[in-house]
Amino acid sequence: MKMLFPKARVLAYFTAPIRGVKGSSASKKDIHGNIEAGRKIAARISNYFGSMLNMYVPHNQDDLIQILWYGKKITVWDILEGDCQIVAQKDILIAWAPKGVISAGMLREIKTAKEREIPVVQFEKFDDEVAITILKFIYQIMERKIKGISAKELTEDLGTE
């Protein structure tokens, strides 16, 4: 099915802990568990919103990153720099903070989004309230794209930081 307004498709960035609360001392098992949990939540969100939301999920591309990181070919800061460049290209950042855990990497991605006046939806549990919040942003972003409203005006209208 062809989208009526293809340019109005909402581009999202999903963030969630990968190393988690353990940070640099996280084991491969910890990291794998966090990646799998993030993939599952991101898939739920993607399935819920369907073609309205085109969501980039670092957890789905992390196999190569982990190989390079463990091989000491890249640093955590290299990874975060790349992630933040991707965040800057998106319309919305969706941040899953399981049990309230917001990793240092997530904080940096959230900061990048806020600096660029990209709306951020942060949550611990994906429920109806969170879905409605995301849906409101999807609608506003699509409307902005169709009408040419700036991201700053959208952020001000919706009362986000």
What residue spans define the domains of the chain?
A: 6-158
pTM of the predicted structure, to 2 decimals: 0.84
Joined together, the tokens standing for residue 148 give: 């040419």
**Per CATH, the architecture of 6-158 is what?**
3-Layer(aba) Sandwich (3.40)
**Residue 93: which of 62, 114, 76 has the closest Cα?**
114
Query: Residue length, the chain?
Result: 161
Beta carbons within 8 Å of 39's beta carbon, 6+ residues apart: 57, 59, 60
Task: Provide block-wise average pLDDT over 10 residues at a time, the chain (161 residues).
Answer: 59 93 85 94 95 92 82 88 96 96 94 97 97 95 79 58 50
